[in-house]
Amino acid sequence: MVSRRVHSRYERRLPDTAAGGREVLICLTVRRFPCRAPACPKVTFAEQVRGLTSRYARRTSGLTGVLQAVALALGGRAGARLSRRLAAAVSRMTLLRLIRALPGTAVSTAPRVLGVDEFALRKGRRYGTLLVDVETRRPVDILPERSADSFAAWLDERPGTQVICRDRAGVYSDGGTRGAPGAIQVADRWHLWPNLGEAVERAVARHRQHLTAAASASPPAAQDQAAPQDQAPPAAERSGGIAGRTRRRHADVHRLVAGGCSQAASPPSSACPATPSAGSPAPPTPASCSSATGHPAAPASCTTTKRTCGNGGTPAAPMPRRRGRRSAAAATGAATRPSGTTSRVSAETPSSPLQPRNRPSLARSPPGS
């Protein structure tokens, strides 16, 4: 039934294939017609341009075909990168949806060599069955479950299978025997290698004590001959300024440790003098230890609380106290101020041998002085 009365119009914008490396957008005015069939649930419907538009499509038929070819060849991520170069940028999920929207081909007869294996719809809970044509390496069908009954029913509906390539599970063996009794069942190489590896591992673990005994009972001569082959050749000695300086420091440290110096007392440069060589003066004795600043000599053990001499050396002079500018200036003003005046800071003369700079006093003098 043809409808000739126009109900309304609206505008569709459809991306099309690129022209000159630029995106093309088609703005199309479409008419809507009322449906004249009383029993039709659609009140109105829109007209379609053959070869250009389709129902609920967001792009032209030509661009949809190009994107479907890209998705089938490259997949999601790689296809999305290529689509940007084709001036028809889409996301990877759009390409995957285009693949899922492709119509499936109905299989009337089973392939001559059929491959069957399981796949996880939800790992550990739900599995399906994938059927593949081994000669063309293309998937044939997908079964929603992993059972012998579903596989046998599929083979009954599609006769002609001569070889069934499967894993070593009993589910597909039973289904193949019932569905195609005359077919030859073989195990594929992918499953043979893991099964062989697991069998060898179990055999080695079972006879492990025999292997250990055989290794320990081997002749010593054979072990001696095999030992030099296992040893790696010695590394060449490094040469250069850094390597030579490192060797000299290593020798000095071992010489000081052999002479009785302790590394825990103080650094080697201040705690222990170097070992005297021929013609050099002997190290000072504990009785001759004295301070250069007039401090009393240390006891016979020649040890101090801070920097000590491990074998009778002279203790280091105390470090001078560091004073700020304000405290030094206040001390200078207190020394030159007449008696009877007060100050907010201490007037103690510094004991450091360093002389403070001549700066004006920061102390406040009383009024009338």
Structure tokens at 304: 């101090």
pLDDT at 27: 93
What is the rounded radius of gyration, in angstroms, for the C-alpha atoms of the chain?
48
Q: What's the fold here for domain 113-193?
A: Nucleotidyltransferase; domain 5 (3.30.420)
226-256: b (≥16 Cβ within 10 Å) or e: eeeeeeeeeeeeeeeeeeeeeeeeeeeeeeb
Cite the residue boundaries of each domain of the chain with CATH code 3.30.420.10.
113-193
Q: Cα–Cα distances in Å, from 88 out to 19, 60, 64, 67, 350?
A: 11, 12, 10, 8, 85
147-156, Cβ contacts within 8 angstroms, sequence gap of 24 or more: 147/171, 147/175, 148/172, 148/174, 148/175, 148/178, 149/175, 150/175, 151/116, 151/175, 151/176, 151/179, 152/176, 152/178, 152/179, 153/179, 154/110, 154/179, 155/110, 155/179, 155/180
Q: In angstroms, what CA-CA distances link 142 with 150, 156, 184?
A: 11, 16, 22
Longest dimension (CA), the chain: 131
Q: What is the per-residue pLDDT for 78?
A: 94
- pLDDT mean for each 10 residues of the chain (369 residues): 84 91 90 86 87 89 93 92 92 92 75 90 88 88 90 89 88 90 89 89 87 73 54 68 89 89 57 47 46 45 44 51 53 48 44 50 51
Question: What's the pLDDT at 93?
Answer: 94
Q: Which residues of 27-47 are buried (b: 16+ CB within 10 A; e: fewer)?
A: eeeeeebeeeeeeeeeeeebe
CA distances from 19 to 22, 23, 63, 71, 85 (A): 5, 7, 12, 21, 13
- State how beta strands 126-133 and 138-143 pair: antiparallel
pLDDT number for residue 233: 62
φ, ψ (nearest 5 deg) of residue 258: -70, -25
Q: Which residue in this structure is represented by tokens 């309304």?
A: 8
